[in-house]
A and B are shown apart, each in its own frame.
Chain A
Amino acid sequence: MCKECGCGEQNEHSHEHAKKHEHPFEIESPLGVDLLTMNNRYAGEVRDLLRRKGCFMVHLTSSPGSGKTTLLEKSVEMLKNSIKIGVIEGDVATENDAERIRKLGIPAEAITTDGACHLDAHSVLHALEHLLNENDLNVVFVENVGNLICPAEFYLGEDQRVVLVSATEGDDKPEKYPAIFRRADALVISKIDLLPYVDFNPEKTKKLAKVIAPRIKFFELSAKTGKGISEWVKWLKSIAL
């Protein structure tokens, strides 16, 4: 654990953000204080930085292989002429996803977690500082490590949390992983071009998601064929500009 800021990182790293060496927070009694207060404090710093720079953050999270990076590629392709986009890519190992985004001419920071199963607000804050120091952006997408359990607990300071479920997964995902859906602003059902070949009922998934998150928004799309993409892009534009 980093001795200065208490994050999970083993390596030495800089602390550009405020209040470098002070104890993270003073509390009178440890009783009743949320155990992720530390993470939430860094999430607050992420939000402050976003507001100062007039930037909006969308957090994409799902199981591995639901099509987060492919959806990002498609979104970038459709939006890059009207919105300045940056990407933070979280992966357990490799910078492959960040490379895919950079190929499109979009700035991307990679967070390699070295085995950790989720991003936390502290690592996102570092990546966001780097990204916004060098670029003037309207929207930053954060792609989390593929995992439907652990990321649920860690608020990253995002404005919108989007959960993806692909048509090749089970349509009962919201029932199996309620925590992540509980805190989601939008649900994207991806790979709908495969619906004729699988037993996935989008209505069932939507109904279950609504039970646990009554105000959740839905998108059904295929990043491969482009079906349903225009509604998604329209929504991104409406929140980002």
Chain B
Amino acid sequence: MHELSIAHGILHNLAPWLSAQDENLRVVKIIIKAGPLRAVVPEALVSAWEIVRNEHIKTKNSLLEVDETYVKVACKDCGENWDAERAIFKCPKCNSQNLEIGGGNELFIESIETEMEG
């Protein structure tokens, strides 16, 4: 359940910005960009956020969404390249294991939706 630590990371990254906002501002929704190589289970992160969001009045009722990215894989033998949902170890076209794997390491807040209370 390292998603709980990551959920705390969301609040840590938000806190300085939140304290600079109007006291009536409330966060409605947060979208997290997460790459397949960061070992984050989206459902677990959403559940963890439902606990952690209560630690700040401005995030109390906020929803979390996870926007999953892709791993970029290129075959060095046949030149095929594609976006994969997880790391791939064999080229689906020529079966080569001579692959180049890039990206998929994203883990950050992509966007925040807010509203004013009252």
Contact = CB atoms under 8 A, between A and B. Distances in A.
B116 interface: no
Nearest to A214: B100
A49 B17 CA distance: 30
A178 B6 CA distance: 19
B89 A153 contact: no
A96 B87 CA distance: 36
Nearest to B11: A6
Contacts of A152: 39
B1 A27 contact: no
Contact of A32 (B15, B17, B109): B109
Interface residues of A, number: 39
Interface string A94-118: 0000000000000000000000011
Contacts of A24: 12
Nearest to B3: A150
B17 A29 contact: yes
Contact of A23 (B2, B16, B39, B89): B16
Interface of A: 1, 6, 8, 23-39, 117-118, 120, 149-150, 152-154, 174-175, 178-180, 182, 207-208, 210-212
12 contacts: A6-B8, A23-B16, A32-B110, A33-B13, A33-B108, A37-B9, A153-B2, A154-B5, A179-B37, A182-B37, A207-B97, A212-B101
Interface of B: 1-2, 4-6, 8-10, 12-17, 32, 37-40, 55, 86-87, 89, 97, 99, 101, 107-112
